[in-house]
Amino acid sequence: MAQLGFHGLIGVGLARLVAPGGTQGDAAPVPQTPLGPVAGGARTPALADPAGNLRWGLVVGSILPDTDLFLLGPLYLISAQLGLAMHRTFTHSLLVAAAVLAYFRLRSSGGRDTACWNLGIGIATGMAVHSLTDLIVWFSGVDLLWPLGVLGLPSWVNFWEGHVNPPIVPKLLGAADYLAFALYYRYLYNRAQALGTDQAFVPRVHRYFQLSLALWVVYTGLALTPIAAGLFDIVHYAVFIVVFLPMVLQATWRMRSTLSAPGHGDAAGVRAPLVSRHR
Ligand SMILES: [Zn+2]
């Protein structure tokens, strides 16, 4: 199970916490360029919004680690053991999150492009928080320091070593993936309606919400039957990887304005800074 919608909502909560309001750097923790606002401002693209990028980056980073399932899905069908063993490895590594941060540091000319740098801080922080969350929930370990394990060094952390769930629990958690998606889409829908943002995509995100909720009911029903865990996983992950993983990435991309908006923004509060940024 991945509960990507749950991770998306954690990203939203993080954004509210660390960058609750404002645009163009008036959110509390937005790092400033060491060369001063003039140099940074000169390099910042006209439409860039450092605080908004930080907020959106936190949501994107919270979702990204589980895109390893794109690669591992086909592998799972060949070897379920290998597919499961590879999940929560390379995309869940704190070292990979640090490499992402380093990439954005270079890309932003050492942080002088604050919009680009804040996006990197958001994505890397979101990835790290996702991995640490996985340690606590979902009853399995994380290859937190991949690829050190490949070199024979300790890299896996597992607080659940030796813990065995009743067979029904993984199946119900798999079904709950769709409840988590539904809650994420419901949040996006409500927020966009309140802000007046991303209106072209709102009807679709509402359909995504309805579909997720329906599949939660269907999969919960299936989980309560005597279906073998392996077969349930194949039926569940096929839909998850082929349909729902692309959907959540699409919705997060298309609703960027909604996810970038300040936490306290209303329709007027969001639109006004956008207008001023276009000048
Ligand atoms: Zn994960």
pLDDT value, residue 206: 98
d(CA 195, ligand 1 centre) in Å: 30
Asked whether residue 271 is domain-assigned, the answer is: no
Distance CA 8, CA 137 (A): 15
d(CA 186, ligand 1 centre) in Å: 21
d(CA 65, ligand 1 centre) in Å: 6
d(CA 150, ligand 1 centre) in Å: 20
Helix (H, G, I), strand (E, B) or coil at 223: helix
Q: What is the mean pLDDT of residues 157-171?
A: 86
Report the share of the chain in percent with pLDDT over 70: 84
Q: How far is CA 164 from CA 43, 128, 168, 200, 245, in A?
A: 54, 26, 11, 46, 28
Count of the separate structural domains present in the chain: 1
d(CA 205, ligand 1 centre) in Å: 23
**Degrees to nearest 5, angle at CA 253 with 194 and 92:** 115
DSSP 241: I
d(CA 126, ligand 1 centre) in Å: 11
Separation of first and last alpha carbons in the chain = 46
pLDDT tens across 120-142, in order? 999 999 999 999 999 998 778 89
Asked whether residue 273 is domain-assigned, the answer is: no
DSSP 45: -
pLDDT value, residue 125: 98
Parallel/antiparallel/unpaired status of strands 156-157 and 142-143:
antiparallel
Tokens of 126: 């979101």
Contact residues for 219 (Cβ-Cβ < 8 A; gap 6+): 174, 175, 177, 178, 236
pLDDT tens across 217-256, in order? 999 999 999 988 888 888 888 888 899 999 999 999 999 9
Query: Residues for the chain: how many in total?
Result: 279
Asked whether residue 278 is domain-assigned, the answer is: no
Highest mean pLDDT among 45-54, 187-196, 229-238: 187-196
Tokens of 111: 């942080």
State yes or no: pLDDT of 44 exceeds 70.
Answer: no
Asked whether residue 79 is domain-assigned, the answer is: yes
Q: What is the mean pLDDT of residues 210-218?
A: 97
pLDDT value, residue 23: 52
**Closest Cα partner for 158 from 139, 182, 177?**
139
d(CA 129, ligand 1 centre) in Å: 10
Asked whether residue 272 is domain-assigned, the answer is: no
**Contact yes or no for 27/201 (Cβ under 8 A):** no
Q: Looking at this protein, which amino acid is placed at residue 25?
A: G
Please tell me whether the peptide bond between 147 and the residue prior to it is cis, using omega within 30 degrees of 0.
yes
Q: What is the mean pLDDT of residues 91-105?
A: 97
pLDDT tens across 100-115, in order? 999 999 999 999 999 9
Asked whether residue 127 is domain-assigned, the answer is: yes
**Closest Cα partner for 73 from 63, 83, 59?**
83
d(CA 58, ligand 1 centre) in Å: 15
In sequence order, what are the beta bridge partners of 7? none
Contact residues for 251 (Cβ-Cβ < 8 A; gap 6+): 184, 185, 188, 201, 204, 205, 208
Asked whether residue 98 is domain-assigned, the answer is: yes
Question: Average pLDDT of the chain?
Answer: 84
Asked whether residue 203 is domain-assigned, the answer is: yes
Residue range(s) defining the domain that contains residue 181: 4-266
Report residue 241 CA to chain centroid gap: 15
pLDDT value, residue 265: 54
DSSP string, 135-173: HHSTTS-EETTTTGGGGTS--EE-TTTT----THHHHHH
